[in-house]
Amino acid sequence: MTLSAQLRNLALAVCATALLFTSTASAAPPAATATSLRIDASAKGTPFPHFWEQMLGSGRASLALRDDYRKDLDAVHQATGVGYIRFHGILDHDVGLVQRDPQGKISYNFSYIDQIYDGLLEHGFKPFVELGFMPPELTSDPAALQAFWYRPNVAPPKDYAEWDAMIGALAKHLVERYGIDEVASWYFEVWNEPNIGFWAGKPQQSTYFTLYDHTVRALKAVSPRIRVGGPSTAQAAWATDFLAHVHKNNVPVDFVSTHVYGDDTADNVFHTSENIPRADMVCRAVDKVHKEIAASPYPHLPLIFSEYNASYANLPNVTDTVFMGPWLANTIRECAGKVEAMSYWSFSDVFEEQGIVRNPFYGGFGLIAANRIPKPAFNAFAMLHKLGDKRLVVGSDSALATRRDDGSVVIALWNYAPPVGNTASYTPGEPAGAPKHFSLDVRHLPAGAHATVWRLDATHGNAVAAFDRMGRPDSPSREQIVQLREAGKLAAPESVKANNGKFEITVPVQGLVVVELR
């Protein structure tokens, strides 16, 4: 590292330190914006289920057999309340379910499927079963391969009788192995994003509806208790048409699923020319589909966004950085009350859609980078897990106030700013904006209540800062990996006295703070 680089890093560290917790006696930084919040700890509140930590996405099914995948599962389980895992490829060739002998006879091998689902259950998770993609032995077009590195086949089946038989055999096996009470607690989703490059049927919508109809009927023939839904579309599409189709044809449906990403365009999602910010796109889409379900013949069907993230691309200044803390907190604030579950894509960078990971911070979707290095987004999930299940009124678009069953008040505060860079190449630099200074007055707290404060920002829980100082090596040494894991840990909390429920917090740009009052 050059002397000038060392001096620059020192200057950045000094600036960051100046933004740390301020007591009631401390003045807000001169450039900070000021917000006063009053919260009634005794208010009745409204239900606030943790919809954002019901489910997480992951790399394709066969990766669930790997040791590093399962270690990342354990880390997520310990830090959050996530209950379901969803992945592509349970029907792909590398899982080995379907074989066809030289005489054309089909048989099934459940060995890897059993190991995959046994592993999820043993590590504290339930499967959200995405039924895809097409086994090569059943495909109508062997050349219909999607662009992912592992090249899944996305054609319709050559013979729907063979598809129906496979789906029925899979469901029967799962019920025999795990019991119907367990399997009835899972979700079964038909395919993935049939409205874009993951379905080669023509026309896409009508041929997908045929696939859905066959699949749900084959599953329900095994047990009507198996939960099935769709259309699992990209860009929050098809919900109205899908529900009209199943209603007209008396086809079972137990939930609606779809996807959206923060950088999807208004043209693709809403068919408008609006410029919708990354901070708002996901929840604008959630609101759209929520209203479509309410206006349908099934107004009370659960809505599941089975994929979402701030970006559908590999953008290292987005998914790898502390930007994700405020983005995630704001997404939770905006989406609350409109969705049953949202599945962040994904929990780990044990992930190979674009090929084998070359650099631990390449803009992967995971909460945990390669080599089991926690990203800032992982710490954001761990911090926001502390929120209660009753939401209290708070007059800010940069705050959430909640109460837990034990009476503790938990508040999230954040300072959203756009990412520094928006390309596949990492862009060093400081985000634009000023610190936010919050003056809080939490009324009706028990006498002697004190505040415990967790932070995520440039100098707290941020492995990327340490990675930058290392020169962003493609292959960190074993010693560097240990250092990065340590740098990525959730920072130790601060304990601060709340004077009759009054205290002050300064949050730096792209910072997230969670305060527990008890």
**Average pLDDT, stretch 224-234?**
98
- Indicate if the pLDDT at residue 17 is higher than 90: no
**Average pLDDT, stretch 251-280?**
97
Q: What is the pTM of this model?
A: 0.91
Q: Can you tell me whether residue 480 is helix, strand or coil?
A: helix
- Residue 481 phi/psi, 5-degree rounding, is -60, -45
How many Å is the Cα radius of gyration of the chain?
24
**Average pLDDT, stretch 85-89?**
98
CA atoms of 318 and 37, how far apart (whole Å): 29
Tally Cβ neighbours within 10 Å of residue 3.
7
- Residue 276 phi/psi, 5-degree rounding, is -90, 125
Q: Could you tell me what percentage of the chain is helix, strand and coil, using 3-state DSSP and rounding each to the nearest 5? A: 30, 20, 45
Is residue 53 part of the annotated active site? The answer reads: no
Asked if residues 175 and 223 have their Cβ atoms less than 8 Å apart, the reply is yes
- Indicate if the pLDDT at residue 29 is higher than 80: no
Q: Can you tell me whether residue 181 is helix, strand or coil?
A: helix
Asked if residues 366 and 311 have their Cβ atoms less than 8 Å apart, the reply is no
- Give the closest residue to 129 by CA, choosing from 253, 232, 234: 232
Model confidence band, residue 31 (pLDDT cutoffs 50, 70, 90)? low
Q: Which one is catalytic: 193, 292, 504, 516?
A: 193
51 burial (CB, 10 Å; 0-12 / 13-18 / 19+) is buried
Model confidence band, residue 9 (pLDDT cutoffs 50, 70, 90)? very low
- pLDDT for residue 446: 79
Which range, of 31-45, 113-127, 213-227, 269-283, averages the lowest pLDDT?
Answer: 31-45
The structure tokens listed for 392 are 């209290």
Q: Where are the beta strands (DSSP E) in 267-384?
A: 303-309, 341-344, 368-369, 373-374
**Helices (DSSP H) in 28-66: which residue ranges?**
none
**Average pLDDT, stretch 463-469?**
96
Model confidence band, residue 16 (pLDDT cutoffs 50, 70, 90)? very low
Q: Which one is catalytic: 53, 137, 189, 307?
A: 307
CA atoms of 486 and 81, how far apart (whole Å): 23
At 127-148, the pLDDT tens digits run 999 999 999 999 999 999 999 9
Tally Cβ neighbours within 10 Å of residue 27.
10
The single residue listed with the structure tokens 């379910």 is: 97
CA atoms of 219 and 252, how far apart (whole Å): 10
Which range, of 2-16, 390-404, 430-444, averages the lowest pLDDT?
Answer: 2-16
Is residue 353 part of the annotated active site? The answer reads: no
